[in-house]
């Protein structure tokens, strides 16, 4: 059985880009006769709020999407909310520690910036980590631990390139050391996205991950974690982003993009679904259509391979 998912972060109102990814992930599974899972990625409790999670469920249902398992309907692999799954992340972390795949890092952000000479890592993280703490002696680690609580980093296997074929972006090759050794638990105890998403998808038997292309460069990290934990990685499909007229990722600066604003303003959901389907290459013009009506015509080959420049729809 094929199983896909949509996993929003409830740190704000769901917007057009989120809705498009949700629609495409849902159509992908429904067109295959598969199961669709909804999961809340609220592991960053400082940014996540319950009201945003509840609003996301309301917005998704308004768009005509449903799910077989999720935080509100339950399922065999519950819980479907990350903040309730911390024991699973700790268990994975202990397994990685036991195998020697992680090490404590005492560097501050300033230390990392000052030592940076490697190419930049993930765009949200700045320079790739130079491995400063990777080869510290036990004595040196004990000395540093007296002054600072460490984060834990995953040690990238040396001389290991990562290859995979993305269902939309095509063949991918990431050379050894891409992005540098990465944090899987912060110094404040917060587990990283990379570790939590791997455990969630493995535990929930996800076979296909369709998500935005901004997460494409996270994929080799996740593949290496799957391998280190003895788990099978799903198939990955990364959808090019929606950009505003200025060529930058669609955001609030381009106008009202919150799905709740369209819903509360009385817009018919079929018109918004039709617009999302049109900018995703699924239909020739932005006509009113329900999500269910798109299932029979869904084809991954029609999804654009480059970012799509759009104006905020007037619906």
The answer to whether the peptide bond before residue 79 is cis (omega within 30 degrees of 0) is yes
Quote the pLDDT of residue 113. 54
Is 193 annotated in a binding site? The answer is yes
Residue 57 lies in a domain: yes
Residues 182 and 115 in one domain: yes
- For residue 128, pLDDT over 60 is answered with yes
**Residues 35, 37: Cα–Cα separation, whole Å:** 7
Q: Would you say 17 and 250 are in contact if contact means Cβ atoms under 8 Å apart?
A: yes
Residue 298 marked in a binding site: no
**pLDDT tens digits, one per residue of 144-177:** 988 899 999 999 999 999 999 999 999 999 999 9
Determine what percent of the chain is predicted with pLDDT higher than 90: 83
Say yes or no: 73 and 93 in one domain. Answer: no
What does the pLDDT average to over 41-47? 90
Give yes or no: residues 93 and 184 share one domain.
yes
Angle (deg, nearest 10), helices 16-31 and 50-62:
60
* Nearest-10 Cα torsion for 108, 43, 77, 231: -20
Please write the tens of the pLDDT for every residue from 181-204: 999 999 999 999 999 999 999 999
Distance separating alpha carbons of residues 196 and 194, to the nearest angstrom: 6
Q: Does the pLDDT at position 124 exceed 90?
A: no
Looking at the structure, do residues 61 and 100 belong to the same domain, yes or no? no
The tens digit of pLDDT for each residue in 97-113 reads 999 999 999 998 766 65
Asked whether residue 30 is marked as a ligand-binding residue, the answer is no
> Binding residue per annotation — 41?
yes
68 and 100 belong to one structural domain: no
Q: Cα–chain-centroid distance for residue 207? A: 15
CATH number at residue 40: 3.40.50.620
Q: Which two tokens stand for residue 178?
A: 């891409």
Instruction: Tell whether residue 174 is among the known ligand binding residues.
Output: no
Is 71 annotated to bind a ligand? Reply is no
For residues 197 and 225, give the distance between their C-alpha atoms in angstroms, rounded to a whole number: 10
Tell me whether residue 226 is annotated as binding. Answer: no
| pLDDT tens per residue across span 195-242 | 999 999 999 999 999 999 999 999 999 999 999 999 999 999 999 999
Measuring CA to CA, which residue among 7, 32, 60 is closest to residue 295? 32
Cα–Cα distance between 146 and 313 in angstroms, integer?
56
Domain that holds residue 120: 87-163+172-193
Tally the residues of the chain: 315
**Within a domain: 209:** no
Radius of gyration of the chain, Cα coordinates, nearest whole angstrom: 21
The answer on 99 and 46 residing in a single domain is no
Residues 49 and 116 in one domain: no
Position 12 scores a pLDDT of: 93
Q: Are residues 68 and 94 in the same domain?
A: no
Whether 212 maps to a domain, the answer reads no
**What whole-number distance in Å separates Cα of residue 104 and Cα of residue 147?**
13
* Res 117 pLDDT > 80: no
Residue 93 within a domain: yes
- Domain match, 117 and 187 both: yes
State the total domains in the chain: 2
Question: Which CATH number characterizes residue 112's domain?
Answer: 3.90.800.10
């Amino acid at each position: 059985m094929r199983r896909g998912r949509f996993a929003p972060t409830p740190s704000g109102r769901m917007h057009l880009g989120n809705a498009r990814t949700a629609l495409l992930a849902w159509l992908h599974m429904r067109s295959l006769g598969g199961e669709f899972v909804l999961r809340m990625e609220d592991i960053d409790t400082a940014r996540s709020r319950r009201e945003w999670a509840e609003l996301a469920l309301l917005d998704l249902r308004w768009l005509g999407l449903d799910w077989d398992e999720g935080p509100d309907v339950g399922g065999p692999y519950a819980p479907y909310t990350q903040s309730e799954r911390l024991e699973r992340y700790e268990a994975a972390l202990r397994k990685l520690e036991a195998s020697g795949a992680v090490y404590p890092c005492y560097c501050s952000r300033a230390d990392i910036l000052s030592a940076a000479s490697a190419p930049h890592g993930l765009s949200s993280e700045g320079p790739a980590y130079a491995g400063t703490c990777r080869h510290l002696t036990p004595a040196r680690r004990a000395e540093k631990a007296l002054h600072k609580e460490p984060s834990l980093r995953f040690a990238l296997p040396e001389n290991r390139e990562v290859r995979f074929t993305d269902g939309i972006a095509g063949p991918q090759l990431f050379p050894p050391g891409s992005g540098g050794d990465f944090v899987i638990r912060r110094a404040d105890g917060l587990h990283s996205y990379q570790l939590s998403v791997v455990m969630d998808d493995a535990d929930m038997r996800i076979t296909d991950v369709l998500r935005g292309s901004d997460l494409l460069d996270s994929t080799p990290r996740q593949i290496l974690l799957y391998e280190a934990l003895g788990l099978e990685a799903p198939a990955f499909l990364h959808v090019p982003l929606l950009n505003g007229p200025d060529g930058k990722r669609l955001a609030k600066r381009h106008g009202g993009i919150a799905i709740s604003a369209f819903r509360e303003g009385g817009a018919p959901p079929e018109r918004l679904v039709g617009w999302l389907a049109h900018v995703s290459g699924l239909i020739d013009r932005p006509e009113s259509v329900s999500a269910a009506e798109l299932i029979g015509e869904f084809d991954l080959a029609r999804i654009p391979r480059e970012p799509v420049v759009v104006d905020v729809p007037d619906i």
